[in-house]
Amino acid sequence: MNELILVEPSLEYAEDLWAFRQEIIDKDADNEDQFAGCMSLDSSSSADE
């Protein structure tokens, strides 16, 4: 079984977050709920936001 580890958000993960955002855009573009649960990730212009 895989272990799930929860961590506090930090800029240390900015590159991973931005890659995740791009993956959603690329693979789920036709889904109106593509960013469900991702707060404002769809409208952010950078991982810093």
Residues in the chain: 49
**Tokens encoding 22:** 């791009």
What pTM was computed for the model? 0.66
Per-residue model confidence as pLDDT tens for the chain (49 residues)? 799 999 888 899 999 989 988 888 888 878 878 777 777 777 888 888 7
Measuring CA to CA, how many Å separate 15 from each of 1, 10, 31?
A: 27, 11, 24
Q: How far apart are alpha carbons 44 and 23 in whole angstroms? A: 15
